[in-house]
Amino acid sequence: MTREISIRVENLGKQYRITQSEQYKTLQDAITRSVKAPFCRIKDILGPNSENHDQILFWALRGVSFEVVQGEVVGIIGRNGSGKSTLLKILSRITPPTEGTAEIHGRVGSLLEVGTGFHPELTGRENIYLSGSILGMRKCEINDQFDEIVKFSEIEKYLDTPVKRYSSGMYVRLAFAVAAHLDPEILMVDEVLAVGDVAFQKKCLGKISDVASGGRTVLFVSHNMGAIQQLCEKAILLERGALLEFSSATDAIHRYHHLMREKTFFDSIYFNGTLKHVLEFKELTINDKNPSEEIIIVSPSSQIELKVIGLCMEDIPRFRVAFSLFKDGTRVLTQHDVVEPKFLEKGLFESKIKIPPFLLRPGEYSVSLGGNQYIGHEWIWGADLAEFLVVEEWSSNYGFDDPGIINIPHDGERLMIK
């Protein structure tokens, strides 16, 4: 069977201009320039193409060519700022390219954020129609799918409440439910799965793979290699705006990890503090895996061990290493290698902490690392050095659907009082 072209991209490029702010040297200078400014600007107002010397030009994307056939699910991966979002924005016609062309066969549904077009003052019901039609659904399509959208979102009871009264979880669920029922020939998804709890993320991933197996073409931007691996046959790897690799998802992810390895987390620039030049953290592992080489996925039923290897350049009389976990910007816990700060000898050392199973709820955790004297002014700290993901286990009986921040093992019972 010949498969038909769905997306053809040829030599696509996007140039951005960044206006450099001028430094005013004197007050007089500042005044004369601001008086002159309106006259200089008139030229700009007449057309966006006029050149301006205060601007820096840079290519967010350049020379990108590829073809996607109908029904393919293609992941787009790359480091931050590699041009993934720019590519998606061009293909969904939000911004035009500076050079090159693209040909798209079919209606495009773009999901670049959750809750596009939601209005806080309007009710859930009204927002389903509003967001749906902004995303490109016809009114009759929304009518047809309305019940399913409501069911998927699990917010039946609050359908006629303004969404500003919703919890953030409800908001995300409703927003994704609308988006998930888009039915275009081509779906472009950008990192929307980064929000919401893991259970709901799974549901969303499932929905996307349904869409894909239904013969739709999907472009899927994500940092979550697990999701890319799971959903996509092929992947595009972008680096500094150029297409580095377009191959099977496995190969592209492999190459991506290779790229990520070049980035060293433990450069001293990541650390602050008075002990910055005395102490060097060399390597952090999570369950003996290096987070700079792969995405660490931990199941809740396993213990999590954080281990760091450090080099101490001179003896420190009192010291303890501190590990902190953050989730959604909240510090979940802090733990030390030793309870009481104690003497740290010059040389290599290893510190570790263990987090018991079933303590962390599913989600993305970021690790910060440092140390202090407990009493005193000597310290070192490096924030957000590594990340790991706690996934949900479907087989476990743990109540991950029970709302809350922490998990506790079940210990409850019910008795009848006679």
Partner 1 sequence: MDKSGDFRVSEDVPIINIHPLNGWVPIDLKEIWDYRELLQTFVVRDIKVRYKQTALGAAWAVIQPLLMMVVFTLFFGKLAKIPSEGIPYPIFSYAALLPWTLFSEGLTRSTSSMITNSGIMTKVYFPRLIMPISGVISPLVDFAIAFVILLGMMLYFGFFPTVNIIWLPAFILLALATSLGVGLWLSALNVQYRDFQYTVPFLIQLWLFASPVVYPSNLLPEPYRMIYGLNPMAGVIEGFRWVLLGTTPPSSLMAVSVGVVIAVLISGAFYFRRMEKTFADVV
* Closest separation in Å from C-beta 123 to partner 1: 10
Pairing of strands 242-248, 108-111: unpaired
* Closest separation in Å from C-beta 14 to partner 1: 9
One DSSP character per residue, 118-176 reads --TTSBHHHHHHHHHHHTT--HHHHHHHHHHHHHHHT-GGGTTSBGGGS-HHHHHHHHH
Per the document, the length of the chain is 418
Candidates 98, 209, 290, 335; binder of partner 1 (CB under 8 A) is 98
Pairing of strands 363-372, 379-390: antiparallel
In the complex with partner 1, which residue's Cβ is closer, 105 or 336? 105
Instruction: Please give the residues from 320 up to 349 whose contact with partner 1 meets the rule CB under 8 A.
Output: none
* Closest separation in Å from C-beta 30 to partner 1: 18
Candidates 91, 180, 231, 275; binder of partner 1 (CB under 8 A) is 91
The letter for the amino acid at 160 is: D
Separation CA 156–CA 150 (nearest Å): 6
Q: Coil, strand or helix: which one is 179?
A: helix
In the complex with partner 1, which residue's Cβ is closer, 104 or 325? 104
Segment contacting partner 1 by CB under 8 A, of 127-135, 206-214, 359-367, 374-382: 127-135
Candidates 69, 99, 229, 307; binder of partner 1 (CB under 8 A) is 99
In the complex with partner 1, which residue's Cβ is closer, 87 or 304? 87
Separation CA 265–CA 20 (nearest Å): 30
Does the footprint of partner 1 cover residue 146 (CB under 8 A)?
A: no
Separation CA 257–CA 391 (nearest Å): 20
Q: Coil, strand or helix: which one is 84?
A: helix
Q: In angstroms, what is the C-alpha Rg of the chain?
A: 26
Does the footprint of partner 1 cover residue 101 (CB under 8 A)?
A: yes
Does the footprint of partner 1 cover residue 76 (CB under 8 A)?
A: no
Instruction: Please give the residues from 362 up to 391 whose contact with partner 1 meets the rule CB under 8 A.
Output: none
Site string for partner 1, 283-322 (x = CB under 8 A): ----------------------------------------
Separation CA 368–CA 330 (nearest Å): 12
| Alpha helices by DSSP H, 184-292 | 198-213, 225-231, 249-261
DSSP letter for 404, please.
S
Does the footprint of partner 1 cover residue 135 (CB under 8 A)?
A: yes
* Closest separation in Å from C-beta 244 to partner 1: 22
Separation CA 373–CA 340 (nearest Å): 9
Q: Coil, strand or helix: which one is 243?
A: strand
Instruction: Please give the residues from 173 up to 202 whose contact with partner 1 meets the rule CB under 8 A.
Output: 185
Segment contacting partner 1 by CB under 8 A, of 110-118, 226-234, 332-340, 382-390: 110-118
Does the footprint of partner 1 cover residue 103 (CB under 8 A)?
A: yes
- Return the closest-CA partner of residue 319 out of 291, 346, 342: 342
Instruction: Please give the residues from 13 up to 52 whose contact with partner 1 meets the rule CB under 8 A.
Output: 16, 41, 44-45, 47-49
- Return the closest-CA partner of residue 388 out of 349, 332, 318: 332
Interface with partner 1 (CB under 8 A), residue total: 49
Candidates 61, 73, 108, 187; binder of partner 1 (CB under 8 A) is 108
Q: At what angle do helices 198-213 and 168-180 cross, to 10 degrees?
A: 0
Separation CA 290–CA 136 (nearest Å): 43
Candidates 63, 66, 69, 112; binder of partner 1 (CB under 8 A) is 112
In the complex with partner 1, which residue's Cβ is closer, 219 or 304? 219
Q: How far does Cα 73 stand from its chain's mean position?
A: 19
Tell me which H or E stretch contains 116: none
* Closest separation in Å from C-beta 90 to partner 1: 6
Does the footprint of partner 1 cover residue 126 (CB under 8 A)?
A: yes
Q: Coil, strand or helix: which one is 212?
A: helix
Candidates 63, 66, 133, 289; binder of partner 1 (CB under 8 A) is 133
Candidates 76, 102, 128, 275; binder of partner 1 (CB under 8 A) is 102
* Closest separation in Å from C-beta 374 to partner 1: 47
In the complex with partner 1, which residue's Cβ is closer, 130 or 359? 130
Candidates 63, 66, 79, 106; binder of partner 1 (CB under 8 A) is 106
Tell me which H or E stretch contains 41: helix 27-46
Residue numbers at the binding site for partner 1 (CB under 8 A): 2, 4-5, 16, 41, 44-45, 47-49, 70, 89-108, 110, 112-113, 116-117, 119, 121-122, 126, 129-130, 133-136, 138-139, 185
